[in-house]
Amino acid sequence: MEKKKIKEMVARMTLEEKAGLCSGLDFWHTKGVERLRIPSEMVSDGPHGLRKQDDAADHLGINDSIKAVCFPAGCATASSFNRELVTKLGETLGEECQAENISTILGPAMNIKRSPLCGRNFEYYSEDPFVSAEMGGALVHGVQSKNVGTSPKHFMANNQEYHRMTSSSEMDERTMREIYLASFEGMVKKEKPWTIMNSYNKLNGTYLCENKEMLTDILRKEWGFDGYVMTDWGAMNERVEALKAGCNLEMPSCGGATDAEIAAAVQDGTLDEAVLDSACEEFLNVIFRYEENRDKTSVFEYERDHKIARQVEEECIVLLKNDDAVLPLSSDKKIAFIGKYVKEPRYQGGGSSHINSFKVESAWDASEFTQNVKRENLVFAKGFDDAEDKVDETLMAEAVQTAEKADVAVIFAGLPDNFESEGYDRKHMSMPDCQNKLIEAVAEVQPNTVVVLHNGAPVEMPWIGKVKAVLEAYLGGQAVGGAVLNVLYGNTNPSGHLAETFPIRLHDTPCYLNYGGEHDKSVYSEGVFVGYRYYASKDMKVLFPFGYGLSYTTFAFRNLTVEKERIKESEELTVNVDVTNTGVCTGKEVIQLYVAPKEGTIIRPVRELKGFEKVELVPGETKTVQFVLDSRSYAYWNTEIHDWHVESGEYEIQIGRNAQDIVLSKTVYVESETMIPKVFNLNSTMGEIMSDPKGKAVLEQAFASMMGEEAQAMGEQAQGDGEAISNEMMAAMMEGMPLRQLISFVPGVTKEALNQLIMALNN
Ligand code: BGC
């Protein structure tokens, strides 16, 4: 509907109707106004399938949600590094929404994985904001192409479940911009989500629902968001303040209570009615966008979507280890499938994203129809029961015996439901003891032991040196079994790469000392050094780095070229690199481009991911992959100008197999085009002044006239005192010396002269 018409409609509404429109009708519906033909619409979780519940259904339960398809969770889809694939997943979700008359799916979940402990990491994409924004953007693109809205969440800095409804995430401006806002920024700018969901927590002391800087200044004014902001369920604090800050819709229903607060505030003059009007207009824009583009022919195609779930998962699985090419398995070998998850896979996480799957395909089920799998060559042993974390000696002994008699043992392990979920964080990164012990015991008798992991976040692997292969399947959705078998037996060549670091142990993580916080404050003191930005900068050993993933084939990277070796910041730079499949089977590879500043005055991560592409290659084939970099590829957030800034200097353009294995690099010189105006005073150091081109010129000239012969003599003497004060020492002392100290150290320099100098510098 045209904006003009919407304006007119709002003008015809009563104050009460307008106030009412800004809160939910019930748990899942927005309100309508019958006399104006404003429809009530349904929204639903999300994000990796539909959780369409009845109005009266319980908040987190699955009792009354419809049968649906559970797709791989965000932790998995991010590791596909395949935008087209995630867009296809989005299109499928969009069609399902149309079929079920759902106007908006509540997702994608796009918070940064600050610590592996966050209970909801399984829904989130990455520790890297670029990956998060790209993958989230791909999903938004797909869903919205079917004329269904998305609600990227939880905006923002909701990086822990502990006290998520009251805790304040405390961070500096640069960290906020470079990491936590950046995780949403690219997606909002490119894909224009119809809605955004604000998070429960506070940011530097202000609840997100009331955070004008986030909801209006940044989201709308800077990034151009033109949809409506809804609260997370129950995330409203002060309704009138929230409306003023840019939060349009309180969800779920408030029972009328806070609607009355809005009406009263307009009447007593504390709320400008125009604010309410534009909140309604923004909201109605989206309501009619859906209404006018209904696809009533859409049907929920369960079996088709189940297959899509399997296809997606196949690209998400990450091969972490494969010694002696123990994988792929050969169909003629006798294989022992061990572990509870062989028959009952853990394929999704707990909480609001929980899907009532219409069917679940375990590896055991899939062995009946998967190509190259001979069921008669498979044996099963349960090995553990994770209902409680206790070793079951009988199950374990049986598993060990079964493994011993087979050619290969494949253990299906990971994290049980109660280890990770929305609502609480993990306390440690261990797998259940009963599973760790089982893996050790099996590996003891079976040299060819393979571990398949079903988990939503990194785990410690004390047994890593004792097993031959590890496949990270993540929480792979309801078709995980078939996907895993296709990878295990080589029908699909694994191509997932980790979108997060697997540290060796929890103690190594960047926010280990602060995570969770105290007194409801969580201080992000690690700053921008999140995930690989920390590990790579410290050159730390990790279990598996960000970006890591193996294949059944091999790839070589050659011929990295940059279009120019010297550019101005505003110029785009085209980078090309050749990738060749040097192995024996077709496969897909993720080409990762990192940018590493070689010099500069800002403390920065040693490298940051600025581009990735996924390509498929047959054996012997070479493809040239192109990246186009722009000024953001070199920029950091400058807190003086409150904007992105590029420092002049050399930057390495690096191609990496992962964040800690760089295989090719080229250096470019980037010239800054933004002068940061400097104001000098008596406490400005000589180094600061000399690093500024104008400062340098003024200072050199002033020195020549101000100091005269005496000072020059002093300088010469200092140089002559080779032993006591070396040139380096002199230079270092001068670099850090504030102007005012010249009075004490340089004969003839007066305060008046310095004041004049400062005037000249600041002029
Ligand atoms: C979750 C959201 C979810 C909402 C509705 C909240 O508890 O944080 O992600 O969309 O519930 O179920």
Whether the CB of 233 sits within 6 Å of ligand 1 = yes
CB 688 within 8 A of CB 676: no
How would you classify the pairing of strands 195-198 and 228-231? Answer: parallel
- Please tell me the distance from the alpha carbon of residue 247 to that of residue 22, in angstroms, as a whole number: 9
Site to probe by mutation for ligand 1, drawn from 352, 355, 424 as the one with most ligand atoms within 8 Å of Cβ, is: 352
Whether the CB of 420 sits within 6 Å of ligand 1 = no
Whole-number pLDDT of residue 61: 46
How would you classify the pairing of strands 555-562 and 469-472? Answer: unpaired
Whether the CB of 178 sits within 6 Å of ligand 1 = no
Distance 46 CA to ligand 1 centre (A): 9
Query: When comparing pLDDT for 696 and 411, which is higher?
Result: 411
Distance 233 CA to ligand 1 centre (A): 6
Site to probe by mutation for ligand 1, drawn from 27, 28, 45, 150 as the one with most ligand atoms within 8 Å of Cβ, is: 45
Task: Tell me the Ramachandran region of residue 677: left when phi exceeds 0, alpha when psi lies from -120 to 50, beta otherwise.
Answer: beta
Q: What are phi and psi of 652, to 5 degrees?
A: -95, 130
Average pLDDT for 314-325: 98
Relative to the CA of 59, which ligand 1 atom is closest? 12
pLDDT tens per residue, range 605-623: 999 999 999 999 999 999 9
Distance 446 CA to ligand 1 centre (A): 45
How would you classify the pairing of strands 318-322 and 469-472? Answer: antiparallel
CB 588 within 8 A of CB 615: yes
- Asked whether the predicted pLDDT for residue 719 surpasses 60, the reply is no
- Computed over every residue of the chain, the mean pLDDT equals 95
The pLDDT > 90 percentage for the chain reads 89
Distance 247 CA to ligand 1 centre (A): 16
Whether the CB of 120 sits within 6 Å of ligand 1 = no
Average pLDDT for 288-301: 97
The separation between CA 649 and the C-alpha centre of its own chain, rounded to angstroms, equals 29
How would you label 596-629 residue by residue, b for 16+ Cβ within 10 Å and e otherwise?
A: bbeeeeeebbbbbbbbbbbbebeeeeebebebeb
How would you label 546-570 residue by residue, b for 16+ Cβ within 10 Å and e otherwise?
A: bbbbbbbbebebeebebeeeebebe
- Please tell me the distance from the alpha carbon of residue 648 to that of residue 342, in angstroms, as a whole number: 56
Whole-number pLDDT of residue 699: 86
Distance 287 CA to ligand 1 centre (A): 20
Whether the CB of 232 sits within 6 Å of ligand 1 = yes
- Please tell me the distance from the alpha carbon of residue 207 to that of residue 166, in angstroms, as a whole number: 8
Whole-number pLDDT of residue 716: 58
Q: Label residue 745 by pLDDT band (50, 70, 90).
A: confident
Whether the CB of 497 sits within 6 Å of ligand 1 = no
Whether the CB of 146 sits within 6 Å of ligand 1 = no
pLDDT tens per residue, range 681-690: 999 999 999 8
Write the CB contacts of 141 (distance below 8 Å, at least 6 apart in sequence): 87, 90, 191
Whether the CB of 161 sits within 6 Å of ligand 1 = no
Whether the CB of 106 sits within 6 Å of ligand 1 = yes
- Please tell me the distance from the alpha carbon of residue 469 to that of residue 485, in angstroms, as a whole number: 14
Q: Which residues are catalytic?
A: 232
Atom 8 of ligand 1: nearest residue by CA position: 232
DSSP assignment of 507-576 equals: GGSTTTTTTT-BTTEEE-TTTT--THHHHHHTT---SB-TT--B-SS-EEEEEEEES-SEEETTS-EEEE
Q: At what angle do helices 182-191 and 129-144 cross, to 10 degrees?
A: 30
pLDDT tens per residue, range 352-396: 999 999 999 999 999 999 999 999 999 999 999 988 889 999 999
Relative to the CA of 46, which ligand 1 atom is closest? 10
The separation between CA 554 and the C-alpha centre of its own chain, rounded to angstroms, equals 28
- Asked whether the predicted pLDDT for residue 713 surpasses 60, the reply is no
Q: Is 124 helix (H, G, I), strand (E, B) or coil?
A: coil
Atom 6 of ligand 1: nearest residue by CA position: 233
pTM of the predicted structure, to 2 decimals: 0.95
pLDDT tens per residue, range 64-119: 789 999 999 999 999 999 999 999 999 999 999 999 999 999 999 999 999 999 99
Distance 4 CA to ligand 1 centre (A): 33
Whole-number pLDDT of residue 386: 83
Residue 207, both tokens: 């609840």
Distance 111 CA to ligand 1 centre (A): 13
Whole-number pLDDT of residue 730: 76
Lowest mean pLDDT among 150-159, 185-194, 505-514, 731-740: 731-740
Whole-number pLDDT of residue 59: 53
Residue 104's closest CA among 144, 73, 57?
Answer: 144
Average pLDDT for 321-347: 98
Between vectors from CA 309 to CA 385 and to CA 554, what angle results, nearest 5°? Answer: 90
Whole-number pLDDT of residue 236: 97
- Please tell me the distance from the alpha carbon of residue 161 to that of residue 166, in angstroms, as a whole number: 10
pLDDT tens per residue, range 551-576: 999 999 999 999 999 999 999 999 99
Using CB atoms within 10 A of its CB, is residue 165 exposed (0-12), middle (13-18) or buried (19+)? middle
- Please tell me the distance from the alpha carbon of residue 350 to that of residue 331, in angstroms, as a whole number: 35
- Asked whether the predicted pLDDT for residue 55 surpasses 80, the reply is no
Average pLDDT for 413-436: 96
How would you classify the pairing of strands 649-658 and 587-597? Answer: antiparallel
Residue 175, both tokens: 């960290």
- Asked whether the predicted pLDDT for residue 718 surpasses 70, the reply is no
Whole-number pLDDT of residue 722: 53
Q: Label residue 62 by pLDDT band (50, 70, 90).
A: very low
Beta bridge partners of 46: none
